[in-house]
Amino acid sequence: MFRRTFIQKFLTVDTNRKSNANEAFTRLSVISVLNDITFDDFEKTFKPAIDGQTTCTILAQHDSIYVAGRYNKYSRTLSQTPWIIDGVRKADTSVEELIALPINKLVTSKCHVFLSSGREDVDVRTLGLGRPFVVEFRQPSRISYNPEEFLAIQREINMLTKDIRVRDLQQVTKEQSNQIKEGEEEKTKCYEALCYTDRQIDQAELDQILASVPNPLVIEQKTPIRVLHRRTLMTRQRSISDLVATVIDPYHFRLRLTTQAGAYVKEFVHGDFARTKPNLTMILDCFVDILELDVLAVNIDFPPMLDNQNDENNSLCDINEK
């Protein structure tokens, strides 16, 4: 509606008329005023709702894409993620970089996030079918890729280094990628450890002692000292099962075991100053420590296994021969 001050200023009303003065504000009278008014006079009466110009920016970008697979780690000096302490890089590369950077040459994203089903220590190998992982690539150049493109990237990764090997590389949906975290509590892992004892022990004694251990064995683990700087101090209950030991010599044996997710195998063996109870040191009644540790299997049904994989170099036998 026009303001009364504007109408009264530019519209002459016959006050001698007996009818209501508001009758002067008719459609025709208003049009008449608008035809005669200058733009400057109009602008003085009707101020713009917004002073000056308003600029709007519209940003269009692709949704994230998710690339999944499994990796083997054959090096005992390679960290899973970039190893940086106090701003100083401790290693030239990492599992994450060896996988994500070649993929990013295809998807050309702004950044990426690497997720895996658990993580191994720097000095631990991951063998068997490998550890499941997902890489989220944010703002990629496109969002759809064919399987052959990822197969080519997989081959490139496997040719560039002998420290890791990738299999089952594929694009998955965001919903599928969530499986890697949803299965965290239910999954189990199989390990093999080369152990040292401070007294002589033979196969018969080992078999007899381990046969008396409950299966599964429930342990109480306080947060290990070595990870206290990044883990909450608490006691966690975990299960250990299928303990099998094979003597190598009087002071060394190989131990195979299956653990619930979240169990710390090194601490189960040496006890971590009795912070893990029971532990193998208590069970064997002698000091026991791990010299080498390998992950043999991460038992989670993700990602789907692909038919175009060559497992020749992924087998445990081949790795042990190196």
State how far the Cα of 153 lies from the Cα of 105, in Å rounded to an integer: 9
Q: Which of 121, 123, 163, 289 is labelled catalytic?
A: 121
Parts of the chain belonging to CATH 3.30.70.3190:
188-299
**pLDDT at residue 13, rounded to an integer:** 46
Taken in order 113, 118, 123, 124, is the CA torsion positive or negative? negative
- pLDDT score recorded for residue 146: 94
Residue 187 CB neighbours (<10 A): 21
| 308 token code pair | 């175009």
What is the pLDDT, as a whole number, of residue 231? 87
The CATH number for 65-184, chosen from 3.30.70.2510, 3.40.50.800, 3.40.630.10, 3.30.465.10, is 3.30.70.2510
pLDDT tens digits in sequence order for the chain, 322 residues long: 445 555 555 555 444 444 555 555 677 877 877 787 888 877 777 776 766 677 889 988 889 999 999 999 999 999 999 988 888 888 899 999 999 999 999 999 999 999 999 999 999 999 999 999 999 999 999 999 999 999 999 999 999 999 999 999 999 999 999 999 887 777 899 999 999 999 999 999 999 999 999 999 999 999 999 999 888 999 999 999 999 999 999 999 999 999 999 999 999 999 999 999 999 999 999 999 999 999 999 999 999 999 877 554 444 444 444 4
**Contact call for residues 293 and 265 (beta carbons, < 8 A):** yes
CATH 3.30.70.3190 for domain 188-299, yes or no, is: yes
Asked if 158 and 71 touch (Cβ cutoff 8 Å), the reply is no
Residue 31 is predicted with a pLDDT of: 80
Residue in the structure block whose two tokens are 């195979």: 256
Cα gap 201→111, rounded to integer Å: 53
Are the CB atoms for 59 and 126 separated by under 8 Å? no
Q: How far apart are CA 106 and CA 173, in angstroms?
A: 18
Query: Which residue intervals of the chain bear CATH 3.30.70.2510?
Result: 65-184
Residues in the chain: 322
Residue 121 bears catalytic tag:
yes
Angle between helices 147-160 and 95-107 (to 10 degrees): 140
Residue 220 belongs to what H/E stretch? strand 217-222
